[in-house]
Amino acid sequence: MKTLILGAGYAGLATTTSLKPIPGLESLLIEQNAYHTFETRLHEAAAHNARITLPLIPLLRGTGVHLEQAKVDYVDLDEREVGLKDGRVLMYDTLVVGLGSVTNFYRIPGLAENATELKQLSDADDIFNFVNRTFDNGYQGNRDIVVGGAGLTGVELVTELAQRAELLSKERGLPPFNIYLVEAGPKILPILDEALRAKAQQTLEDYGIKIMVGHRIMQATADSVTVQTADGEQKVIKAGKIIWTGGIQARDVVRGQKIEKGPGGRVVVDEFLRAKGYPDVFIIGDMGLALNQQGKPVPTTAQHAGQQGRTTAKNIMNMVQNKPLVPYEPTTLGEFVSLGGLMAVGWMKLPWNQKLAITGGIAHVMKRASEWKWRSSVD
Protein backbone atom coordinates (compact mmCIF):
# COMPACT_ATOMS: atom_id res chain seq x y z
CA MET A 1 0.00 0.00 0.00
CA LYS A 2 1.62 3.22 -1.19
CA THR A 3 1.00 5.92 1.39
CA LEU A 4 1.82 9.58 0.95
CA ILE A 5 2.06 11.87 3.98
CA LEU A 6 1.89 15.54 3.04
CA GLY A 7 3.48 17.98 5.47
CA ALA A 8 5.74 17.60 8.51
CA GLY A 9 3.89 19.89 10.88
CA TYR A 10 2.64 18.56 14.21
CA ALA A 11 0.01 16.29 12.62
CA GLY A 12 2.16 14.97 9.80
CA LEU A 13 5.18 14.43 12.02
CA ALA A 14 3.10 12.57 14.60
CA THR A 15 1.78 10.31 11.86
CA THR A 16 5.25 9.69 10.47
CA THR A 17 7.01 8.99 13.77
CA SER A 18 4.20 6.66 14.90
CA LEU A 19 4.48 4.37 11.88
CA LYS A 20 6.46 1.13 11.93
CA PRO A 21 7.93 -0.75 8.97
CA ILE A 22 5.47 -3.55 8.24
CA PRO A 23 5.10 -5.78 5.15
CA GLY A 24 2.94 -4.22 2.47
CA LEU A 25 3.37 -0.61 3.63
CA GLU A 26 5.37 1.83 1.51
CA SER A 27 5.37 5.31 3.06
CA LEU A 28 6.70 8.60 1.72
CA LEU A 29 6.73 11.94 3.55
CA ILE A 30 6.48 15.01 1.29
CA GLU A 31 7.81 18.17 2.98
CA GLN A 32 9.38 21.27 1.43
CA ASN A 33 11.82 21.75 4.34
CA ALA A 34 14.41 19.33 5.67
CA TYR A 35 13.27 20.14 9.19
CA HIS A 36 10.24 20.33 11.45
CA THR A 37 9.43 23.72 12.92
CA PHE A 38 7.96 23.99 16.41
CA GLU A 39 5.37 26.56 15.37
CA THR A 40 4.22 27.01 18.95
CA ARG A 41 7.65 28.57 19.64
CA LEU A 42 7.86 30.95 16.71
CA HIS A 43 7.39 33.84 19.15
CA GLU A 44 10.70 32.87 20.80
CA ALA A 45 12.50 32.85 17.47
CA ALA A 46 10.97 36.24 16.63
CA ALA A 47 12.22 37.82 19.85
CA HIS A 48 15.39 35.91 20.72
CA ASN A 49 16.38 33.97 17.59
CA ALA A 50 15.79 30.73 19.53
CA ARG A 51 16.44 27.36 17.90
CA ILE A 52 13.01 25.93 17.11
CA THR A 53 13.64 23.35 14.39
CA LEU A 54 14.58 19.68 14.25
CA PRO A 55 16.09 17.84 11.25
CA LEU A 56 13.64 15.32 9.86
CA ILE A 57 15.95 12.49 8.80
CA PRO A 58 16.88 11.41 12.37
CA LEU A 59 13.19 11.46 13.32
CA LEU A 60 12.38 8.97 10.56
CA ARG A 61 14.71 6.26 11.87
CA GLY A 62 12.81 3.07 12.56
CA THR A 63 9.60 4.27 10.90
CA GLY A 64 10.09 2.87 7.41
CA VAL A 65 9.13 6.30 6.04
CA HIS A 66 11.25 7.99 3.38
CA LEU A 67 11.52 11.76 2.92
CA GLU A 68 10.97 13.58 -0.37
CA GLN A 69 11.83 17.26 -0.04
CA ALA A 70 9.32 19.00 -2.32
CA LYS A 71 6.47 21.50 -2.23
CA VAL A 72 2.89 20.39 -2.88
CA ASP A 73 1.03 22.30 -5.59
CA TYR A 74 -2.36 20.55 -5.51
CA VAL A 75 -4.13 17.41 -4.33
CA ASP A 76 -6.77 15.85 -6.60
CA LEU A 77 -8.78 13.28 -4.67
CA ASP A 78 -10.88 12.20 -7.65
CA GLU A 79 -7.78 11.43 -9.72
CA ARG A 80 -5.88 10.09 -6.68
CA GLU A 81 -2.85 12.24 -7.45
CA VAL A 82 -0.62 14.82 -5.78
CA GLY A 83 0.95 17.48 -7.97
CA LEU A 84 4.28 18.95 -6.89
CA LYS A 85 5.57 22.45 -7.66
CA ASP A 86 8.43 20.96 -9.70
CA GLY A 87 5.92 19.45 -12.11
CA ARG A 88 5.97 15.86 -10.90
CA VAL A 89 2.73 14.01 -10.17
CA LEU A 90 2.61 11.28 -7.52
CA MET A 91 -0.07 8.60 -7.22
CA TYR A 92 -1.16 6.98 -3.98
CA ASP A 93 -3.22 4.20 -2.45
CA THR A 94 -3.63 6.00 0.86
CA LEU A 95 -3.14 9.69 1.50
CA VAL A 96 -2.55 11.75 4.65
CA VAL A 97 -2.97 15.50 4.19
CA GLY A 98 -1.44 17.60 6.96
CA LEU A 99 -0.44 20.76 5.11
CA GLY A 100 -1.59 23.13 7.85
CA SER A 101 -3.04 26.59 7.54
CA VAL A 102 -2.41 30.05 6.20
CA THR A 103 -3.10 33.40 7.80
CA ASN A 104 -6.65 34.73 7.55
CA PHE A 105 -6.61 38.52 7.13
CA TYR A 106 -10.42 38.71 6.99
CA ARG A 107 -10.23 41.08 4.01
CA ILE A 108 -9.21 43.96 6.25
CA PRO A 109 -7.98 46.66 3.84
CA GLY A 110 -4.21 46.88 3.67
CA LEU A 111 -3.57 44.22 6.32
CA ALA A 112 -2.24 41.44 4.08
CA GLU A 113 -0.01 43.90 2.24
CA ASN A 114 1.45 45.64 5.29
CA ALA A 115 1.40 43.19 8.21
CA THR A 116 3.99 40.55 9.04
CA GLU A 117 2.64 37.07 9.75
CA LEU A 118 4.03 34.59 12.25
CA LYS A 119 3.65 31.29 10.44
CA GLN A 120 7.20 30.27 9.51
CA LEU A 121 10.85 30.88 10.27
CA SER A 122 11.21 33.68 7.73
CA ASP A 123 8.47 35.62 9.53
CA ALA A 124 10.27 35.21 12.85
CA ASP A 125 13.54 36.31 11.24
CA ASP A 126 11.87 39.44 9.86
CA ILE A 127 10.54 40.44 13.29
CA PHE A 128 13.84 39.65 15.02
CA ASN A 129 15.78 41.77 12.54
CA PHE A 130 13.37 44.70 12.92
CA VAL A 131 13.66 44.67 16.71
CA ASN A 132 17.45 44.70 16.50
CA ARG A 133 17.45 47.53 13.93
CA THR A 134 15.35 49.76 16.18
CA PHE A 135 18.16 49.74 18.74
CA ASP A 136 20.83 50.83 16.27
CA ASN A 137 21.99 54.38 16.93
CA GLY A 138 21.29 55.42 13.37
CA TYR A 139 17.70 54.13 13.22
CA GLN A 140 15.34 56.97 12.23
CA GLY A 141 11.91 55.36 11.82
CA ASN A 142 9.03 54.54 14.14
CA ARG A 143 10.08 51.88 16.65
CA ASP A 144 6.66 50.87 17.99
CA ILE A 145 5.01 47.50 17.30
CA VAL A 146 1.31 46.72 16.88
CA VAL A 147 0.27 43.07 17.29
CA GLY A 148 -3.24 42.21 16.14
CA GLY A 149 -4.94 39.32 17.91
CA ALA A 150 -4.78 38.53 21.63
CA GLY A 151 -5.08 34.79 21.43
CA LEU A 152 -2.30 32.38 22.30
CA THR A 153 0.15 33.47 19.60
CA GLY A 154 -0.36 37.19 20.06
CA VAL A 155 0.02 37.13 23.84
CA GLU A 156 3.09 34.91 23.75
CA LEU A 157 4.68 37.12 21.11
CA VAL A 158 4.20 40.45 22.91
CA THR A 159 5.66 39.14 26.17
CA GLU A 160 8.79 37.87 24.44
CA LEU A 161 9.14 41.12 22.49
CA ALA A 162 8.83 43.10 25.72
CA GLN A 163 11.58 41.02 27.30
CA ARG A 164 13.83 41.51 24.28
CA ALA A 165 13.21 45.26 24.25
CA GLU A 166 14.05 45.50 27.95
CA LEU A 167 17.32 43.62 27.42
CA LEU A 168 18.38 45.72 24.43
CA SER A 169 17.38 48.90 26.22
CA LYS A 170 19.74 48.12 29.09
CA GLU A 171 22.55 47.08 26.75
CA ARG A 172 22.38 50.11 24.43
CA GLY A 173 20.99 52.89 26.59
CA LEU A 174 17.90 53.50 24.46
CA PRO A 175 14.30 53.47 25.72
CA PRO A 176 12.21 50.38 24.88
CA PHE A 177 9.62 50.72 22.14
CA ASN A 178 5.87 50.66 22.74
CA ILE A 179 3.97 47.43 22.13
CA TYR A 180 0.24 47.56 21.38
CA LEU A 181 -1.84 44.39 21.66
CA VAL A 182 -5.08 44.95 19.74
CA GLU A 183 -8.02 42.58 20.14
CA ALA A 184 -11.51 42.93 18.65
CA GLY A 185 -13.07 40.73 21.33
CA PRO A 186 -13.78 41.72 24.92
CA LYS A 187 -10.85 39.88 26.50
CA ILE A 188 -7.45 38.36 25.90
CA LEU A 189 -6.85 34.60 25.92
CA PRO A 190 -10.43 33.30 25.72
CA ILE A 191 -9.09 29.73 26.11
CA LEU A 192 -8.29 30.39 29.80
CA ASP A 193 -10.58 30.77 32.78
CA GLU A 194 -10.93 34.12 34.50
CA ALA A 195 -8.31 33.62 37.23
CA LEU A 196 -5.55 32.51 34.84
CA ARG A 197 -6.53 35.20 32.34
CA ALA A 198 -6.22 37.84 35.06
CA LYS A 199 -2.77 36.52 35.97
CA ALA A 200 -1.70 36.71 32.33
CA GLN A 201 -3.11 40.19 31.87
CA GLN A 202 -1.31 41.45 34.96
CA THR A 203 1.95 40.06 33.58
CA LEU A 204 1.39 41.90 30.30
CA GLU A 205 0.65 45.13 32.14
CA ASP A 206 3.79 44.71 34.24
CA TYR A 207 5.76 44.53 30.97
CA GLY A 208 4.22 47.84 29.96
CA ILE A 209 2.29 46.34 27.04
CA LYS A 210 -0.65 48.50 25.97
CA ILE A 211 -3.66 46.15 25.87
CA MET A 212 -6.51 47.33 23.65
CA VAL A 213 -9.43 44.88 23.89
CA GLY A 214 -12.69 45.76 22.16
CA HIS A 215 -10.72 47.43 19.36
CA ARG A 216 -11.14 46.11 15.83
CA ILE A 217 -8.50 46.79 13.19
CA MET A 218 -10.31 48.47 10.28
CA GLN A 219 -7.38 49.07 7.95
CA ALA A 220 -3.61 49.09 7.81
CA THR A 221 -1.00 51.11 5.98
CA ALA A 222 2.76 50.71 5.82
CA ASP A 223 3.17 52.65 9.08
CA SER A 224 -0.18 52.61 10.91
CA VAL A 225 -3.38 50.79 11.79
CA THR A 226 -6.82 52.29 12.24
CA VAL A 227 -8.80 50.72 15.09
CA GLN A 228 -12.45 51.11 16.00
CA THR A 229 -14.29 50.54 19.28
CA ALA A 230 -17.73 48.97 19.59
CA ASP A 231 -19.33 52.44 19.75
CA GLY A 232 -17.72 53.47 16.46
CA GLU A 233 -14.88 55.62 17.77
CA GLN A 234 -11.78 55.36 15.57
CA LYS A 235 -8.15 56.11 16.25
CA VAL A 236 -4.91 55.72 14.32
CA ILE A 237 -1.90 53.99 15.87
CA LYS A 238 1.45 54.71 14.25
CA ALA A 239 3.88 51.79 14.12
CA GLY A 240 7.15 50.71 12.59
CA LYS A 241 6.03 47.08 12.51
CA ILE A 242 2.54 45.59 12.26
CA ILE A 243 2.14 41.89 13.10
CA TRP A 244 -1.10 39.98 12.54
CA THR A 245 -1.86 36.84 14.59
CA GLY A 246 -5.64 37.18 14.51
CA GLY A 247 -6.76 34.14 12.56
CA ILE A 248 -6.02 31.17 10.31
CA GLN A 249 -7.73 29.26 7.54
CA ALA A 250 -7.04 25.85 6.04
CA ARG A 251 -4.58 25.71 3.16
CA ASP A 252 -6.66 25.53 -0.02
CA VAL A 253 -4.86 22.89 -2.08
CA VAL A 254 -7.26 19.92 -1.97
CA ARG A 255 -9.92 19.43 -4.62
CA GLY A 256 -12.55 16.77 -5.13
CA GLN A 257 -16.22 16.71 -6.16
CA LYS A 258 -17.38 15.08 -2.91
CA ILE A 259 -15.39 17.29 -0.51
CA GLU A 260 -17.35 19.11 2.20
CA LYS A 261 -15.84 22.17 3.85
CA GLY A 262 -16.71 23.95 7.06
CA PRO A 263 -15.63 27.17 8.79
CA GLY A 264 -12.17 28.38 7.84
CA GLY A 265 -12.13 26.13 4.79
CA ARG A 266 -11.49 23.03 6.91
CA VAL A 267 -12.38 19.72 5.23
CA VAL A 268 -15.14 17.76 6.98
CA VAL A 269 -13.90 14.35 8.15
CA ASP A 270 -15.54 11.27 9.65
CA GLU A 271 -14.84 9.63 13.00
CA PHE A 272 -11.67 8.07 11.56
CA LEU A 273 -10.41 11.45 10.22
CA ARG A 274 -11.11 10.48 6.61
CA ALA A 275 -12.50 13.03 4.16
CA LYS A 276 -16.16 12.23 3.66
CA GLY A 277 -16.59 10.36 0.40
CA TYR A 278 -12.89 9.46 0.23
CA PRO A 279 -12.18 6.47 2.51
CA ASP A 280 -8.48 6.33 1.61
CA VAL A 281 -7.78 9.99 2.45
CA PHE A 282 -7.05 11.25 5.95
CA ILE A 283 -7.19 15.04 6.54
CA ILE A 284 -5.55 16.00 9.82
CA GLY A 285 -4.34 19.02 11.77
CA ASP A 286 -5.48 22.52 10.80
CA MET A 287 -6.93 21.31 7.49
CA GLY A 288 -9.41 18.81 8.92
CA LEU A 289 -12.72 19.60 10.61
CA ALA A 290 -12.95 16.84 13.21
CA LEU A 291 -15.65 16.89 15.89
CA ASN A 292 -15.28 16.14 19.60
CA GLN A 293 -17.60 14.02 21.72
CA GLN A 294 -20.00 16.97 22.07
CA GLY A 295 -20.19 17.49 18.32
CA LYS A 296 -18.10 20.66 18.37
CA PRO A 297 -15.05 21.32 16.14
CA VAL A 298 -11.75 20.14 17.59
CA PRO A 299 -9.43 23.12 18.19
CA THR A 300 -6.51 23.66 15.83
CA THR A 301 -3.83 23.13 18.48
CA ALA A 302 -0.56 21.21 18.46
CA GLN A 303 -1.75 18.68 21.03
CA HIS A 304 -4.85 17.78 19.01
CA ALA A 305 -2.82 17.62 15.80
CA GLY A 306 -0.48 15.17 17.50
CA GLN A 307 -3.38 13.02 18.67
CA GLN A 308 -4.81 12.96 15.16
CA GLY A 309 -1.46 11.97 13.71
CA ARG A 310 -1.01 9.07 16.10
CA THR A 311 -4.54 7.80 15.44
CA THR A 312 -4.00 8.06 11.70
CA ALA A 313 -0.73 6.11 11.86
CA LYS A 314 -2.48 3.33 13.75
CA ASN A 315 -5.28 3.21 11.19
CA ILE A 316 -2.87 3.11 8.25
CA MET A 317 -1.15 0.10 9.75
CA ASN A 318 -4.55 -1.46 10.51
CA MET A 319 -5.60 -1.00 6.88
CA VAL A 320 -2.48 -2.82 5.67
CA GLN A 321 -3.14 -5.67 8.10
CA ASN A 322 -6.89 -5.82 7.34
CA LYS A 323 -7.80 -4.82 10.88
CA PRO A 324 -10.72 -2.53 11.79
CA LEU A 325 -10.07 1.17 12.09
CA VAL A 326 -10.11 2.89 15.46
CA PRO A 327 -12.10 6.13 15.87
CA TYR A 328 -10.40 9.37 16.80
CA GLU A 329 -11.19 10.34 20.39
CA PRO A 330 -9.91 13.86 21.09
CA THR A 331 -8.96 14.92 24.57
CA THR A 332 -7.64 18.24 25.82
CA LEU A 333 -4.86 17.47 28.29
CA GLY A 334 -4.37 21.11 29.22
CA GLU A 335 -3.65 24.58 27.89
CA PHE A 336 -0.49 26.55 28.65
CA VAL A 337 0.48 30.08 27.67
CA SER A 338 4.09 31.26 27.74
CA LEU A 339 4.53 34.73 29.22
CA GLY A 340 8.22 35.26 28.55
CA GLY A 341 11.27 33.36 29.77
CA LEU A 342 10.33 30.62 32.22
CA MET A 343 6.98 32.21 33.11
CA ALA A 344 3.77 30.54 31.95
CA VAL A 345 0.19 29.99 33.07
CA GLY A 346 -2.24 27.23 32.27
CA TRP A 347 -4.04 24.15 33.45
CA MET A 348 -3.75 20.40 33.15
CA LYS A 349 -6.47 17.79 33.13
CA LEU A 350 -6.98 15.63 36.23
CA PRO A 351 -9.11 12.50 36.73
CA TRP A 352 -12.88 12.95 36.94
CA ASN A 353 -12.76 15.91 34.58
CA GLN A 354 -11.05 18.18 37.09
CA LYS A 355 -8.53 20.91 36.19
CA LEU A 356 -5.38 21.91 38.02
CA ALA A 357 -4.27 25.52 37.51
CA ILE A 358 -0.48 25.91 37.21
CA THR A 359 1.68 29.02 36.96
CA GLY A 360 5.38 29.80 36.78
CA GLY A 361 8.20 27.44 35.88
CA ILE A 362 6.17 24.24 36.22
CA ALA A 363 3.69 25.52 33.65
CA HIS A 364 6.64 26.31 31.36
CA VAL A 365 7.91 22.73 31.72
CA MET A 366 4.47 21.33 30.92
CA LYS A 367 4.24 23.46 27.79
CA ARG A 368 7.58 22.19 26.50
CA ALA A 369 7.15 18.52 27.47
CA SER A 370 5.99 17.22 24.07
CA GLU A 371 8.82 19.03 22.28
CA TRP A 372 11.45 17.49 24.56
CA LYS A 373 10.14 14.04 23.66
CA TRP A 374 10.89 14.67 19.99
CA ARG A 375 14.23 16.32 20.71
CA SER A 376 15.36 13.32 22.77
CA SER A 377 14.98 11.09 19.73
CA VAL A 378 17.42 13.27 17.77
CA ASP A 379 20.02 14.48 20.28
Which pLDDT belongs to residue 374?
57
CATH 3.50.50.100 boundaries in the chain: 2-103+248-321
pLDDT mean for each 10 residues of the chain (379 residues)? 97 96 97 95 95 94 96 98 98 98 97 97 97 93 97 96 95 94 96 92 96 97 96 96 96 96 96 97 97 93 94 98 97 88 84 82 76 57
Environment class of residue 167 by beta-carbon count within 10 Å: exposed (0-12), middle (13-18) or buried (19+)? middle
pLDDT given at position 350: 80
Q: Smallest Cα–Cα separation from 7: which of 43, 47, 35?
A: 35
Alpha helices in 254-301 (DSSP H): none
Please state, in angstroms and rounded to a whole number, the distance separating the CA atoms of residues 4 and 27. Answer: 6
**Start-end of CATH 3.50.50.60 domains in the chain:** 121-244
The answer to whether the beta carbons of residues 160 and 44 sit under 8 Å apart is yes
In this predicted structure, what is the pLDDT of residue 7? 98
Is residue 328 classed exposed, middle or buried when 0-12, 13-18 and 19+ CB atoms within 10 A define those classes?
A: buried
Superfamily per CATH, domain 121-244: FAD/NAD(P)-binding domain (3.50.50.60)
Q: What is the pTM of this model?
A: 0.94
The yes or no reply on domain 2-103+248-321 and CATH 3.50.50.100 is yes
Please tell me the predicted confidence (pLDDT) of residue 376: 58
> For residue 274, what pLDDT is reported?
98
Name the pairing type of β-strands 101-103 and 248-250.
antiparallel
Helix ranges (H only) for 42-83 are: 42-48, 56-59
pLDDT at 352: 73
Q: Where are the alpha helices (DSSP H) in 4-110?
A: 10-18, 42-48, 56-59
Largest CA distance in the chain: 68
Q: How confident is the model at residue 379, as a pLDDT? A: 44
